[in-house]
Amino acid sequence: MTAPIYEDFIQPKGAAYRVSQLKGWSHYLEPISDDPARLSGNSRIWGDATPDVQSRVIDSLVEAAREAGLDARNTAHVLAIARIESGFNPDAAAGTTSASGLGQFVDKTGLSYGLNESNRFDVDAQASALVAHFIDNRALAERRGQGEAYIYQVPPRWADSGLRRSRAVPREGAAPARKLYPVRGGTVRL
């Protein structure tokens, strides 16, 4: 049974990938552990976990944030990132990349936060990795003199990777783009 505070957090199951979209390096087709002691999603699809599992994932994220000393506002950022990336499904995986788990870490980034083949879908390991990643992103945004809107938009792996800057991320000194806020049935631009 889901605690009343979580009712607005619970996410519906998202859309599945088509077979033609799947890439060989994706974790999308990997089997999900049937260990009853493990928090599991129903599939690799965004949001496809029971309300009880999603609520327990939220609890794990809040606990990892508390252990890292995050305040309520920063904890809310972590929860928002997990919601956007995985719909609180600990077994979510992208079909087109190696991104997986609550924060949708690609393999290389996941390794730098302690995630590997043995714990890639472990809720507590994912929660700790996502909080650490958030803290790194926050520090990067602060070093660049950027506000909260940039914490999620500019992951550390882009800082020195040579990847082209996304159009969604304004160049330094440019006015920030209006934010997109996900809502059921689409997004709202504010």
- 189 beta partners: 180
Name the nearest CA neighbour of 83 among 182, 16, 4, 168: 182
Q: Which helix (H) or strand (E) holds 128?
A: helix 123-143
Question: Structural domain tally of the chain?
Answer: 1
Position 188 scores a pLDDT of 39
The sign of the CA dihedral 58, 60, 61, 63 is positive
Position 1 scores a pLDDT of 53
In a domain, 83, yes or no: yes
In a domain, 3, yes or no: no
| Whether pLDDT at 56 is above 60 | yes
**Which residue range is the domain that position 179 belongs to?**
22-32+39-189
In a domain, 82, yes or no: yes
CATH number where 170 lies: 1.10.530
In a domain, 156, yes or no: yes
Residue 13 burial (C-beta neighbours within 10 Å; 0-12, 13-18, 19+)? middle
| Whether pLDDT at 169 is above 50 | no
Grouping H, G, I as helix, E, B as strand and the rest as coil, residue 56 is: helix
Name the nearest CA neighbour of 83 among 189, 6, 143, 157: 6
